């Protein structure tokens, strides 16, 4: 059949970077982007996918109050999530005509809805079966090739397995957006920030749908305000269409980019003003009652304590050898919101089964949820088993992401377990036996044909007034001959809620830190005319076990989170400030300021040579 086709290609000019994309007269990527379903109306340029703004006060008036104004521009690279398991999935149409799906997807209920929408099928026809996920980091929330697998399954009448090779992952995943971010900040001579204007351009690639949020933008753009009280603020984030790989959500979407820019900018201001970078931060940190960029009030603010803890653990201010420098950077991460169903059931053997629609992406979330149920019911964690609900069981669930699982899953499990506890007490009273075992109680109910069980739907619509602060400090050595940066030691300090599982909590901190380390120093998906040219995981330069520095973790525990027992979130707390902490340390070590990630030996070498 191929012989009947005669294909001729006409080469047309393309646009591959975000600033080129919004230049006047740039080649237009989509003829009518506004016609796409869910597309935002505002379109200052035909290649603008979306605009997201955060505004406090009157930024122009604010700049008039400033004694000094600083402006710097930063760039961050295209970066893959780097999970070791590539996307995979199976679609089979069963004898009843139902579409059975198994996929490495962290949001099974949304997957069902997206598939139903894309395939024009009633939702009830689709059943997503939960599977363990080999790492996610934000990358496993989309349809990927599943619609194709469905159509092949439909046409062939056979189950179809879709499996991406890693080169395909790198070429066609949904990586972290590259950015160009300009920060302009007005400061009084006393070192107080009075105004800031942030303009961010994110290279979103050819399609927008990997950002399935109403804004079609990156919420992390709000982090342009950092952890500071800024009375007059305007952040504008532009997601730009280009002829390159569509980008998506990656561990704290938009934040590593914004925090690199903002925290490098703070250091540059401090050095220019002759202030200790830690001192400039102290003078501007958020406090109780202050507003975040999104207008939310904060309570239980421990920004200052977190900063001081990181500084103390890094011997801030102590003498250091030549070519060694120290840098600090801060951020904060919200505790995620969303909705989760949990169902608990007392088994006749005396154990409890927790039924949940959240897959475990490898964070240990299921263990945390079992611990919550065990704690409420006075059981050991081994006495609580987990059962994964296919999407047939519950109506909905917001899935894994956005630092929400311990909060929403934990609270759903907590309230369900509380109800079960009441039922158990009522059943025990009915039995009239003192200290009856759970097995005895369950068996008594079973004899009457009853099962003791309870469900809870927990729905958190808006963010709590608490957040979780991070302060990170790096000590680096720069090789004067090669420009190679070696991190000698690193401190990560976190203002956390109640820690439910210390081992898993620390694992999230360490993993996030090393992901941040890769983003800072080595990882980059390179492109040529929009096409990915980094086609092996080796070339992408994920950190190895040889690359990790001694790490000190400081936790400031405060049981004020919205999660069960006062828990907060930790999964996205340790990634975003790593790159600026290291960039600031490099500047401290040798005076070279790297404003585009990653901080390679080559960039430092060139800067050292240019300086002479």
Partner 1 sequence: MLTIRLTVNGMRQEVEVPTYRTLLDCLRYDLGLTGSKEGCGVGVCGACTVLLDGKMISACIALASFADGRTVTTIEGLAQDERLHPVQQAFMDMGGFQCGICTPGQVMASKALLDEVPHPSEAEIREWMLGNLCRCTGYYKIVESVRAASRAGRP
Judged by the rule CB under 8 A, the positions of this chain that interact with partner 1 are 81-86, 132-137, 165-167, 361-364, 503-504, 506-507, 510-515, 536-538, 542-546, 548, 551
Least distance to partner 1 from the beta carbon of 383, Å?
Answer: 19
- Least separation, in Å, of the C-beta of 391 and partner 1? 22
> Token digits for 376?
């409420």
Return d(Cα 571, Cα 405) in angstroms, integer. 10
CB-wise, 76 or 501, nearer to partner 1? 501
Comparison of 191 and 364: residue with beta carbon closer to partner 1: 364
To which residue do tokens 């200790």 refer? 276
Q: Are 368 and 408 in contact (CB under 8 A)?
A: no
**Nearer of residues 281 and 366 to partner 1, judged by Cβ:** 366
Which is it for strands 352-356 and 338-346: parallel, antiparallel or unpaired? Answer: antiparallel
Closest CB to partner 1 among residues 348, 506: 506
Alpha carbons 536 and 525: distance in angstroms, whole number = 10
- Smaller CB separation from partner 1, 161 or 271: 161
The pairing of beta strand 527-528 with beta strand 88-93: unpaired
Closest to 519 measured CA to CA, from 72, 77, 17, 18: 77
Residue 493's DSSP bridge partners are 471, 554
To partner 1, the closest distance from the beta carbon of 108 in angstroms equals: 17
Nearest CA to 579 among 524, 526, 518, 509?
Answer: 518
Which of 251/415 has CB closer to partner 1?
Answer: 251
**H-type helices in 274-316, by residue range?**
277-284, 303-313
Evaluate whether 588 touches 326 at the Cβ level (below 8 Å). Answer: yes
- Interatomic CA distance for residues 29 and 315, integer angstroms: 51
* Residue 88 near residue 104, CB atoms below 8 Å: yes
Q: Least separation, in Å, of the C-beta of 63 and partner 1?
A: 41
> 381-402 as b/e, with b when 16 or more CB fall inside 10 Å?
eebbbbebbbbebbebbbbbbb
Q: How far is the CB of 546 from partner 1 (least distance, A)?
A: 5
Q: For the CB of residue 163, give the shortest distance to partner 1 in the complex, in Å.
A: 9
Give the burial string for 444-473 (b: 16+ CB within 10 Å, else e): bbeeeeeebbbbbbbebeeebbbbbbbbbb
Residue 174: both structure tokens together:
């949904």
Task: Give least dist CB 472 to partner 1, A.
Answer: 14
Which of residues 88 and 460 has its CB atom nearest to partner 1 in the complex?
A: 88
Q: Residue 158 — φ and ψ, nearest 5°? A: -125, 155
Of 80 and 265, which CB lies nearer to partner 1 in the complex structure?
Answer: 80
CA atoms of 141 and 122, how far apart (whole Å): 21
Residue 7 Cβ, how far from partner 1 at the closest point, in Å? 30
Angstrom distance (rounded) from CA 313 to CA 335: 26
Distance CA 115, CA 104 (A): 14
Smallest distance, partner 1 to C-beta of residue 167, A? 8
At closest approach, how far in Å is the CB of 516 from partner 1?
9
Query: Least distance (Å) from partner 1 to the CB of residue 509?
Result: 8
Calpha distance 563→408 (Å, rounded) = 7
Residue closer to partner 1, measured from CB, 284 or 363:
363
Q: How far is it, in rounded angstroms, from Cα 254 to Cα 576?
A: 9
CB 123 within 8 A of CB 117: no
Nearer to partner 1, 73 or 553 (CB): 553
The minimum distance between CB 537 and partner 1, in angstroms, equals 4
Helix (H, G, I), strand (E, B) or coil at 279: helix
Between residues 161 and 320, which has the closer beta carbon with respect to partner 1?
Answer: 161
Kind of pairing, strands 126-129 and 99-103? parallel
With respect to partner 1, which residue has the nearer C-beta, 228 or 490?
A: 490
């Amino acid at each position: 059949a191929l012989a009947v086709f005669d294909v001729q290609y006409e080469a047309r000019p393309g646009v591959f970077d975000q600033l080129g994309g919004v230049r006047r007269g740039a080649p237009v990527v989509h003829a009518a982007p506004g016609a796409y379903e869910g597309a935002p109306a505002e379109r200052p340029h035909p290649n603008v996918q979306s605009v997201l703004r955060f505004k406090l006060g009157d930024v122009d008036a604010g700049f008039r109050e400033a004694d000094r104004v600083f402006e710097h521009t930063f760039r961050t690279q295209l970066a893959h999530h780097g999970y070791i398991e590539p996307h995979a999935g199976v679609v089979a149409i069963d004898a009843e005509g139902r579409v059975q799906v198994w996929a490495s997807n962290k949001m099974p209920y949304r997957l069902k809805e997206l598939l139903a929408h894309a395939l024009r099928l009633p939702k009830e026809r689709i059943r997503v079966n939960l599977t363990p996920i080999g790492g996610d980091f934000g990358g496993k929330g989309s349809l990927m090739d599943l619609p194709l697998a469905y159509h092949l399954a439909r046409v062939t009448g056979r189950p179809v397995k879709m499996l991406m090779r890693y080169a395909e992952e790198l070429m066609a995943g949904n990586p972290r957006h590259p950015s160009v971010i300009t920060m302009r900040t007005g400061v009084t001579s006393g070192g107080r920030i009075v105004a800031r204007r942030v303009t961010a351009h994110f290279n979103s690639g050819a399609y927008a749908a990997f950002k399935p949020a109403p804004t079609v933008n990156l919420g992390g753009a709000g982090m342009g305000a950092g952890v500071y009280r800024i009375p007059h603020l305007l952040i504008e984030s532009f997601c730009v269409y280009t002829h390159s790989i569509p980008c998506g959500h990656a561990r704290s979407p938009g934040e590593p980019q914004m925090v690199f820019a903002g925290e490098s900018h703070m250091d540059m201001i401090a050095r220019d003003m002759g202030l200790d970078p830690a001192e400039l931060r102290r003078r501007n940190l958020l406090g109780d009652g202050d507003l975040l960029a999104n207008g939310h009030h904060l309570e239980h603010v421990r920004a200052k304590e977190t900063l001081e803890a990181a500084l103390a653990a890094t011997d801030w201010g102590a003498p250091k050898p030549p070519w060694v420098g120290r840098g600090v950077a801060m951020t904060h991460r919200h505790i995620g919101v969303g909705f989760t169903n949990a169902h608990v059931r007392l088994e006749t053997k005396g154990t409890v089964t927790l039924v949940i629609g959240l897959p475990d992406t490898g964070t240990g979330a299921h263990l945390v949820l079992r611990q919550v149920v065990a704690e409420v019911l006075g059981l050991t964690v081994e006495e609580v088993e987990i059962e994964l609900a296919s999407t047939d069981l519950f109506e909905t669930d917001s899935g894994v992401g956005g630092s929400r699982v311990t909060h929403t899953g934990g609270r759903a499990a907590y309230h369900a377990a509380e109800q079960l506890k009441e039922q158990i007490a009522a059943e025990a009273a009915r039995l009239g036996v003192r200290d009856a075992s759970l097995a005895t109680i369950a068996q008594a109910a079973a004899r009457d044909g009853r099962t003791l069980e309870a469900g809870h739907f927990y729905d958190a619509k808006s963010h709590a007034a608490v957040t979780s602060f991070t302060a990170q400090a790096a000590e680096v050595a720069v090789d004067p001959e090669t420009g190679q940066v070696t991190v000698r030691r690193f401190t990560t300090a976190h203002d956390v809620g109640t820690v439910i599982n210390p081992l898993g909590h620390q694992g999230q901190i360490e993993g996030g830190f090393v992901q941040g380390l890769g983003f800072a120093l080595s990882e980059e998906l390179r492109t040529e005319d929009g096409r990915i040219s980094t086609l092996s995981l080796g070339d992408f330069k994920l950190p190895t076990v040889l690359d990790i520095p001694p790490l000190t973790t400081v936790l400031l525990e405060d049981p004020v989170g919205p999660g069960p027992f006062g828990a907060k979130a930790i999964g996205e707390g340790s990634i975003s400030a790593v790159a600026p902490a290291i960039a600031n340390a490099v500047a401290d070590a040798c005076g070279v300021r790297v404003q585009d990630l990653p901080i390679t030996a080559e960039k430092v070498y060139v800067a050292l040579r240019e300086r002479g």
